[in-house]
């Protein structure tokens, strides 16, 4: 019998942006820029001040959208359509990732603070769409983003997932706190070729926090290692 810590996992849950595709593809940079532009147009603030406001909302509310809804009473659809109007062609198909996900025992899911439409566009570009049981986006979460516990609970209940038999893959450490508390295996995915997360100071993570079980800078390889362990 395998001694793999993933031996009991039946549900494999993946964040989308900067997790299922590499950070260096800069796809999320396009979204980030569009969010700054939206905030600037909405508030009339200079670009630098709009950027600061965007970041402050993200830090306080989990997403810029949540902050804009609560502080400016905006309708979410306009924002979501605007920020996800990006060029997905920068992503290349990833047959290795598709093969690894396909071999995982049980079911696979996407849990994202983005929209289902955006997630489908990304998954289609990567060639992995057919391997996922469900894509749970921000609308399915009733516009309440990770890391709010109710969003994870809503996702788990919708899909009938036992957290003790699930694993969560995320690029943001703070989004692994709740999964860990619920009993999920937690994997922090960091930029390829690095052992540090290069982001804003308040997002920095060494992966040494107690709610992070594993750290990888190569998702494909990490999944293949799990598969190897499960076969032994």
pLDDT digits (tens, 9 = 90+) for 80-130: 999 999 999 999 999 999 999 999 999 999 999 999 999 999 999 999 999
Q: In which band, very low, low, confident or very high, does the pLDDT at 207 lie, cut at 50, 70 and 90?
A: low
pLDDT of residue 88: 93
pLDDT digits (tens, 9 = 90+) for 4-60: 999 999 999 999 999 999 888 889 899 999 999 999 999 999 999 999 999 999 989
Residues 41 and 104 in one domain: no
Query: What torsion, rounded to 10 degrees, do the Cα atoms 153, 207, 132, 76 define?
Result: 60
Tokens of 166: 């699930």
pLDDT of residue 196: 47
For the entire predicted model, the pTM comes to 0.90
Beta-carbon neighbour count of residue 136 at 10 Å? Answer: 22
Residues 59 and 105 in one domain: no
Residues 64 and 122 in one domain: no
Domain of residue 36, CATH code: 1.10.150.450
pLDDT of residue 150: 97
Residues 65 and 135 in one domain: no
Contact 146, 61 (CB under 8 A): no
Q: Report the DSSP pairing between strands 214-216 and 11-14.
A: unpaired
Q: How far is it, in rounded angstroms, from Cα 24 to Cα 39? A: 25
Domain extent at residue 35: 28-83
Give me the residue label for tokens 């830090």: 59
Of 21-30, 74-83, 130-139, 151-160, which gets the smallest average pLDDT?
21-30
Q: How far is it, in rounded angstroms, from Cα 55 to Cα 36? A: 9
């Amino acid at each position: 019998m395998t001694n793999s810590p993933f031996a009991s996992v039946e549900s494999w849950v993946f964040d989308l942006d900067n997790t299922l595709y590499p950070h260096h593809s800069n796809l999320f940079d396009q979204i980030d820029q569009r969010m700054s532009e939206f905030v600037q147009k909405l508030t009339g603030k200079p670009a630098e001040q709009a950027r600061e406001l965007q970041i402050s909302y993200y830090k306080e509310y989990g997403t810029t959208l949540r902050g804009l809804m609560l502080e400016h009473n905006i309708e979410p659809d306009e924002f979501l359509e605007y920020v996800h109007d990006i060029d997905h062609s920068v992503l290349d198909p990833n047959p290795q990732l598709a093969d690894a996900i396909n071999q995982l025992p049980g079911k696979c899911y996407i849990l994202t603070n983005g929209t289902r439409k955006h997630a489908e566009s990304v998954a289609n570009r990567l060639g992995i769409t057919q391997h996922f049981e469900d894509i749970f986006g921000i609308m399915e979460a009733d516009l309440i983003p990770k890391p709010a516990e109710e969003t994870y609970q809503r996702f788990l209940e919708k899909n009938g997932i036992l957290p003790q038999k699930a694993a969560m893959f995320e690029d943001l450490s703070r989004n692994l706190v709740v999964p860990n508390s619920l009993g999920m295996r937690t994997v922090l995915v960091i930029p390829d070729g690095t052992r540090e997360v290069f982001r804003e100071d308040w997002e920095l993570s060494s992966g040494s926090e107690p709610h992070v079980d594993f750290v990888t800078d190569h998702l494909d390889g990490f999944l293949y290692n799990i598969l190897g362990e499960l076969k032994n």
